[in-house]
A and B are shown apart, each in its own frame.
Chain A
């Protein structure tokens, strides 16, 4: 079994400056400045600590933040946008074997 995981840039790969409801993010690898709103900065903060699957990310975001749209579909859409922007990447890993009964 494989599962998709998401990971952010390496440590010091981003500079983050909260402005108001927007957060300015400088991506060192590309030299591009991004202007992000919730939950993108929170996702980047989480994925900066280590790669996570969609479900694991959803759990941690729900634990640490009070997001306005905390559904799985909404988070998947935000992750797609962040991949599109080049700020995060996804990959496949071998997942733990699932016990069959």
Chain B
């Protein structure tokens, strides 16, 4: 492809090729502090390409391709090329990862122990991880937590933090010096802005952590916490994992092990400040 970029995020190496320079230039800038793939061999390859040659120039729209593809994925306009790249990287991970059980969860770490937060889009996974990181926690990832099927440890995947709508302002307030990508308005998920994780998150991304607490946050409700029974937590996590079925026996062992080892708690919260207080209280009670 005309333009290419490679990066390693946690244990996973990516190579992104593109018909256009612009998305690669943005990735180069935002991921400038990240290492390259081990031995320069990527685990996943992503392609951003024009469906027809002239579409590189006329109303350019970005098709996503790679080792794993969704045939129905709609192309995005070129100005959302960064989003297309991030979505494509996520897709390769979601469908292709075999070394780890992928949990659709954000993760932060303190004292070698990981706090996992899972939930649907809009539950506040990214926001909470960002706010906790501003309060001294180590940021491990806002989208995927990688559960090592051999050791039971959580590996960090601190890709660019994908902030949506009102979470953009909240994160900017918590991290006034953070480097930000372009504001992408009116994407299929609303307004999106990517934030570069803090230097500590990148420098320590190869250090795994022992899972200690699994939270199911829900934004926009009165502050409340309730234990989630293990069977419910197990089922919700099989649904929150993109490769549970593909991993078979290893996935079953890893996930039942996680559920047996950590408390699972649902947490409703009305705003970020309240959520931090609730999380700190739960953590202190462990």
Taking Cβ atoms with an 8 Å cutoff, the residues of A that contact B are 15, 17, 19-22, 24, 26, 28, 31, 33, 35
Contacts and interface: CB of A to CB of B under 8 A. Distances in A.
A55 to B, nearest CB: 32
B182 to A, nearest CB: 42
A24 B259 CA distance: 11
Contacts of B234: 19, 22, 24, 35
A14 to B, nearest CB: 10
Given A19-B259, A28-B249, 18 more contacts: A15-B249, A15-B253, A17-B260, A19-B231, A19-B234, A20-B229, A20-B230, A20-B231, A22-B231, A22-B234, A24-B231, A24-B256, A26-B248, A26-B252, A31-B248, A33-B252, A35-B231, A35-B234
Report which residue of A15, A26, A33 has the largest number of chain B beta carbons within 10 angstroms of its beta carbon: A33
Interface residues of B, number: 14
Tell me the interface secondary structure of chain B in the complex. Answer: helix
A86 to B, nearest CB: 15
B25 interface: no
A28 B253 CA distance: 12
**Which 4 A-B pairs rank lowest in CB-CB distance, beginning with the nearest?**
A22-B231, A17-B256, A26-B252, A19-B230
Interface in B218-252: 229-231, 234-235, 238, 245, 248-249, 252
Interface in B189-216: none
Nearest to A21: B231
Interface string B96-124: 00000000000000000000000000000
B248 A19 contact: no
Given A17-B260, A19-B256, A26 B249 contact: yes
A88 to B, nearest CB: 19
B246 to A, nearest CB: 9
